[in-house]
Amino acid sequence: MTHSVTLIEGDGIGPEVVEAARRIIDATGLPIHWDVCEAGAKVFKQGLATGVPPETIESIKQTKVVLKGPLETPVGYGEKSANVTLRALFETYANTRPVRQIPGIQTPFSGRSIDFVIVRENIEDLYAGIEYLQTPSVAEALKLITRKGSEKIIRFAFELARAEGRHKVHCATKANILKLTEGLFKKTFEDISKEYPDIEAHHIIIDNCAHQLVVRPEDFDVIVTTNLHGDIISDLGSGLVGGLGVAPAANIGDEVAIFEAVHGSAPDIAGKNMVNPTALLFSSVLMLRHLKEFETAERIEQSLLYTLGVQKAFLKDLDKNSTLTTTAFTDLVIQNLGKKTDFWPIRPYKPLRLPLVQNPSEDVPRKEVGFDLYIESSLSSEKLGKSLGTIALPSPFELKMISNRGVQVYPAIGGIRPDTVDHWRARFFLKDKNTTITDKDIFDLTAQIALHHQWMHLEKLNEFNHAPAFTKAQGEE
């Protein structure tokens, strides 16, 4: 069967690494139809703000598999990164980055048998990019974590463990501080892990995870985490095993999968025939496994390992005295197809089962118990508190507290006066918990406050399943 793959050369060193990958895959004899498409700098320069033309989108819709070089985000042309556009457009929610020690490549961690995969949620979290300047000098970003998004990536991580014959999944979060967002991810992990009794499940706080990745990287097998943490620890992971020149990545969604290297377009070495194509070659191996071409994937992987580990054929990024060119390295990998190494155990790879996750039922008992109003003011906490308390007197609400940057400042706790900025959160609770709030009650009080103060944001306070659906401020009773 001939596979169709959308091939995007990309920018900078992109054409060189993509050419290497294409030559090696073609040399295996595997029939692949490469649909060569454009995205990135050239497209931005033509005036298309997304950096991804409709022909490319159409091709990906047909082939569902992309092998791509890095895309530059030129300053002064498009506003959004073409990479982010591609990942978001095709909902490639699972960013997987294998971190495996390559024999022959000396690092401070050599000989430690490092072999794990980082599974990073690729859509949600702060990367939803929902940001506001709430006052001219206070910026806010929404960290969105959903049950559905968490369940998809967590199931994916367990399925990946099964497909690769791995035995352990760590879920890395900051749930100790971010109890609702990261807490939802952790809770989802605890729920879903029960369905995978054959896999060990552990939770680890992300900062400790970063520490353990340096101290005992060999203890990890699969790490699943939210978007921002994943972004950071996956670069840490590349650093453990030899750097950007050898770090592959796959972005996998329900329909489409995009395979690329972790590195960027490296304009400093572009066009010099000296770039290390290993990262994209390992990404190509991931792509071939995705296409269920396990034998060809293994042939290329073994040849690459032979070239690096036995022949010690290094490019300049791994040996600064090297004169080896990208083309000569590619020729060597082609010549070595069929050779095997004994230092990289071959995993029992099986097809990955992508999880099917429905939206959870929202049918839970809920009650509105108050609201938070965000106010811009240059008053002191004391003056603002007294004013808001007085305005609320005739309403069904009472001022519970005011916080500034998350810390309760009114009523002041223990006489301490924290440093404050002009951005305040006033928390109003129902005076009588047994009454029911209408939106009109909230709007009426907000309108009264707006006669005296500038407000910019309102957040309802709910109880779901009789439990508060909001956190307390630091110091709030």
CB of 160 closer than 8 Å to CB of 119: yes
Question: At its nearest, how many Å lie between ligand NAI and the CB of residue 271?
Answer: 12
Say how far apart CA 439 and CA 386 lie, in whole Å.
24
Say how far apart CA 37 and CA 35 lie, in whole Å.
6
Question: At its nearest, how many Å lie between ligand NAI and the CB of residue 55?
Answer: 19
The residue sitting closest to ligand NAI, measured at its beta carbon, is 264
Enumerate the H helices of 375-430 as residue ranges: 381-392
Nearer CB in complex with ligand NAI: 124/317: 317
Nearer CB in complex with ligand NAI: 159/260: 260
**According to CB under 6 A, which residues from 302 to 331 bind ligand NAI?**
317
Nearer CB in complex with ligand NAI: 98/396: 98
Question: At its nearest, how many Å lie between ligand NAI and the CB of residue 74?
Answer: 7
- Contacting residues for 335 by C-beta, under 8 A, at least 6 apart: none
Q: Which of 440, 463, 439, 468 is nearest to 367 (CA)?
A: 463
CA 163 remoteness from chain centre: 21
Q: Residue 327: in which H helix or E strand, if any?
A: helix 326-335
Q: Tell me which residue has tokens 């036995």.
A: 310
Question: At its nearest, how many Å lie between ligand NAI and the CB of residue 244?
Answer: 4
Nearer CB in complex with ligand NAI: 199/269: 269
What would the x/- binding string for ligand NAI be over residues 358 to 397, using CB under 6 A? ----------------------------------------
**According to CB under 6 A, which residues from 211 to 270 bind ligand NAI?**
244-245, 260, 263-266, 268-269
Say how far apart CA 263 and CA 244 lie, in whole Å.
5
Interface with ligand NAI (CB under 6 A), residue from 276, 381, 395, 403:
276
- From the list 67-75, 95-103, 203-211, 402-410, the region that binds ligand NAI by CB under 6 A is 67-75
Instruction: Retrieve residue 19's tokens.
Output: 């050419």
Nearer CB in complex with ligand NAI: 244/332: 244
Interface with ligand NAI (CB under 6 A), residue from 60, 224, 279, 409:
279
Give the DSSP letter of residue 126: G
CA 24 remoteness from chain centre: 30
Question: At its nearest, how many Å lie between ligand NAI and the CB of residue 201?
Answer: 30
Question: How many binding residues for ligand NAI (CB under 6 A)?
Answer: 18
Question: At its nearest, how many Å lie between ligand NAI and the CB of residue 83?
Answer: 5
* Residue 111, Ramachandran bin (φ over 0: left; ψ between -120 and 50: alpha; else beta): left
Nearer CB in complex with ligand NAI: 309/418: 309
Question: At its nearest, how many Å lie between ligand NAI and the CB of residue 255?
Answer: 20
Interface with ligand NAI (CB under 6 A), residue from 50, 56, 59, 83:
83
Say how far apart CA 88 and CA 253 lie, in whole Å.
10
Say whether residue 86 binds ligand NAI (CB under 6 A).
no
Question: At its nearest, how many Å lie between ligand NAI and the CB of residue 470?
Answer: 37
Nearer CB in complex with ligand NAI: 323/361: 323
Length of the chain: 477
CB of 302 closer than 8 Å to CB of 341: yes
Nearer CB in complex with ligand NAI: 76/345: 76
Question: At its nearest, how many Å lie between ligand NAI and the CB of residue 217?
Answer: 21
Q: What spatial distance separates the first Cα and last Cα of the chain, rounded to whole Å?
A: 66
Say whether residue 70 binds ligand NAI (CB under 6 A).
yes
User: What radius of gyration, in Å, describes the C-alpha atoms of the chain?
Assistant: 26
Instruction: Retrieve residue 243's tokens.
Output: 């750097």
For residue 284, count other CB atoms closer than 10 A to its CB: 28
- Contacting residues for 28 by C-beta, under 8 A, at least 6 apart: 296, 299, 300, 337
Question: At its nearest, how many Å lie between ligand NAI and the CB of residue 284?
Answer: 14
Nearer CB in complex with ligand NAI: 83/85: 83
Give the DSSP letter of residue 218: G
Nearer CB in complex with ligand NAI: 95/336: 95
Q: Which of 135, 111, 126, 317 is nearest to 218 (CA)?
A: 111
Say whether residue 92 binds ligand NAI (CB under 6 A).
no
Question: At its nearest, how many Å lie between ligand NAI and the CB of residue 305?
Answer: 17
Nearer CB in complex with ligand NAI: 182/260: 260
Name 462's bridge partners: 368
Say how far apart CA 116 and CA 220 lie, in whole Å.
6
Nearer CB in complex with ligand NAI: 266/384: 266
Instruction: Retrieve residue 147's tokens.
Output: 């049950």
CB of 159 closer than 8 Å to CB of 353: yes
Residues forming contacts to ligand NAI in the complex (CB under 6 A) are 70-73, 83, 244-245, 260, 263-266, 268-269, 275-276, 279, 317
